Amino acid sequence: MEIDIKKVGIILRKGSDEPKVIAAELQGWFAERGIDTVIDEVSVGLDLLVILGGDGTLLHVAGEASQFAIPVVGINLGDLGFLTEVAKEERYQALGAILAGGFTIEKRMMLKTRLVGSEGTTDWHYALNDVVISKGNMDSLLQLSTWADHEYITTYRADGLIFSTPTGATAYNLSAGGPIVHPSLRSILVTPICPFMLDSRPVLLAPETKLTSRLLAQQNTDVKVISDGMILWDMKGDQVLEVMASDRTLQLIGSPQKGYFEILRNKLGWGGVSRSKAEFSGEM
């Protein structure tokens, strides 16, 4: 596809000089092609966001990027990322392909969440990976009465509960024993964290599902709602957390050199090497 790119935002990973050096080089490269750039800004009028960092850097701006429908490409400056797929050595090749229209955009599903209680309702917050109810320093398990639309699922007795998108399936959900779900599928995963009952298993639900969860008993303890690794709210016993699929999507530009399963093999250490379609079909 083609995008008329006139202005690009470059987002830098914090705490390192390397992103600043690469950003300065990219600004010169874009300027030679008549394209304006801004640093660490997400706003109306941007045609592309270039992330210099890792998945955490991309997650930090995913909500704003989805709000303004800005396509995002991630250039990874560390280990191979699930979202920041382009290696830094490939950056000019990948950006040149984008300017030439040689790329595809994946529309990644996002979640929206809010807290509803006697003291009022929070604004919606948007997440690309997951929304998590997590206990703090308390010793006892949380008891979370959880519903899918008007149907009761169960009361989870666990250290917490993860509501995840398919994109976030390879994040906290995976470490908690949840399944890997291909990001092209629209679905919501519900995964308990260290559940008391071993038969309390992850659940995969349709994207139209509205999920609600509340503390079963008043627990004057440190219970947090966390979105994409950022603490949003303290959760009290009289509050209900609502989670559902958002109408927003993140427009993610992937690496033309790497497929989804190649990234999984490398990131998760599955082993094996890339195989061609000809080899698969027995034509070699």
- Asked if the model's pLDDT at residue 242 lies above 70, the reply is yes
Task: Give the model's pLDDT for residue 109.
Answer: 97
200-213 burial: b if 16+ Cβ within 10 Å, else e = bebbbbeeebebbb
Task: Give the model's pLDDT for residue 42.
Answer: 96
Task: Give the model's pLDDT for residue 284.
Answer: 47
- Asked if the model's pLDDT at residue 80 lies above 70, the reply is no
Cβ count near 4 (within 10 Å): 5
Q: Catalytic residue among 36, 55, 139, 234, which?
A: 55
Task: Give the model's pLDDT for residue 267.
Answer: 73
User: Which of the pair, 129 or 272, is modelled with greater confidence?
Assistant: 129
pLDDT-derived band of residue 237, with 50, 70 and 90 as boundaries? confident
Task: Give the model's pLDDT for residue 278.
Answer: 47
pTM here is 0.89
Contact 112, 66 (CB under 8 A): no
Task: Give the model's pLDDT for residue 262.
Answer: 75
Contact 2, 104 (CB under 8 A): no
Q: How far is CA 242 from CA 99, 115, 145, 263, in A?
A: 40, 6, 12, 32
171: helix, strand or coil: coil
Q: What is the pLDDT of residues 157-176, one digit of tens each?
A: 999 999 999 999 999 999 99
Q: Averaged over 142-166, what is the pLDDT? A: 95
Burial class (CB in 10 A: 0-12, 13-18, 19+), 98: buried
Among 247, 221, 249, 245, smallest CA distance to 235 is for: 221
**How far is residue 220's CA from residue 153's CA, in Å, rounded to a whole number?**
24
The DSSP bridge partners found for residue 221 are none
- Asked if the model's pLDDT at residue 279 lies above 70, the reply is no
Active site residue 55: yes
